[in-house]
Amino acid sequence: VEVSRALGDGGAVAQYGGSLLATDSHFLDNKAMAGGALAFLYDADSQLVLTVANCTFRGNRANRGGAADVRAGKLSLVNCLFKNNTAHSTGGAVSASAEGSFTLDACSFVGN
């Protein structure tokens, strides 16, 4: 997903419930208020489970969570590259709140 814009959350993807598996994907130059590329948000009726593997996040921008904003659920990042993502307040690459959590496995962070 390249050069997507959102007025709210998640420049490329805003997930409110259920599960999501993203593999071998590129999220490039996306922009949003929160989660420049991805936003994982609370849904009281659903357990949010997200797995992102072998993905590249480059040049994404947001006020919070330049590449991803995790406010709910469980996010697993495996073998991902986060490069040159920016945020105005928190999380140049990833921002997580107390209600959300994420795990990292073999990810690289460069220039965020």
- Domain assignment of residue 8, yes or no: no
Please indicate, yes or no, if residue 94 is contained in any of the structural domains. yes
Residue-level pLDDT at 54: 98
pLDDT for the residue numbered 43? 63
If one counts the domains in the chain, the total is 1
Task: State the residue range of the domain holding 34.
Answer: 13-110
Is 24 within the bounds of a domain? yes
pLDDT of residue 2: 65
70 pLDDT band, cuts 50/70/90, is: confident
Sequence letter at residue 105: D
Domain annotation covers residue 1: no
Cα(16)–Cα(98) distance, integer angstroms: 17
Asked, for residue 7, whether it belongs to a domain, the answer is no
Report how far residue 23's alpha carbon sits from residue 46's, in angstroms, rounded to the nearest whole number.
22
Residues with Cβ < 8 Å from 104, sequence gap 6 or more?
A: 77
pTM, to two decimals: 0.90
When pLDDT is cut at 50, 70 and 90, the band that residue 40 belongs to is confident
DSSP labels, 25-78:
-EEES-EEEE-SSEEE---TTS--EEEEES-EEES-EEEE-SSEEE-SEEEEEE
Domain presence at residue 6? no
What mean pLDDT is predicted for residues 87-109?
Answer: 88
Q: What is the pLDDT of residue 45?
A: 58
Q: Domain for residue 79, yes or no?
A: yes
Specify if 3 maps to a domain.
Answer: no
Q: What is the pLDDT of residue 73?
A: 80
CB 103 within 8 A of CB 76: yes
